[in-house]
Amino acid sequence: MFSCSTAIPLHRRLLAAGSVALVLALAVLASCPELHHWLHGDSEQDSHACAVMLYASGLTLTAGAAGLAAPAVVWHERPAVAVAEIFLASPRYLRQPERGPPVC
């Protein structure tokens, strides 16, 4: 029977587990101000910016929503010239064979 090995290397598993643990820790620290203050004492300042506060406030773009417009592209290709006459090739056979050769 056909067997497909889907073993994931150890370093990828450790990276995935570490990423999950980081997101879980940020979520817990963002939801509990006492734990955040216990982590570092300056968490009560207004200008405080750490990973926990950034995670709690969500995604913020520093550049804003201004987008850059793409430059206008001008296409400079000459149109194909149509042929005035149509030259048809004559068929090899007048009537196409419908079956194979007869059996003798």
pLDDT tens digit sequence for 86-98? 777 776 666 666 6
Q: DSSP letter at 66?
A: -
How many domains are there within the chain?
1
- Give a yes or no: residue 40 inside a domain: yes
Locate 81 and state its tokens.
Answer: 């010239």
- Give a yes or no: residue 24 inside a domain: yes
Residue 15 has pLDDT above 90, yes or no: yes
E strands of the chain, at which residues?
none
What is the span of the domain harbouring residue 49? 10-57
Is residue 62 within 8 A of residue 49, CB to CB? The reply is no
- Give a yes or no: residue 29 inside a domain: yes
Give me the percent of the chain exceeding a pLDDT of 70: 67
- Give a yes or no: residue 88 inside a domain: no
Question: pLDDT tens, 53-90?
Answer: 888 877 655 555 566 677 787 877 777 777 777 777 77
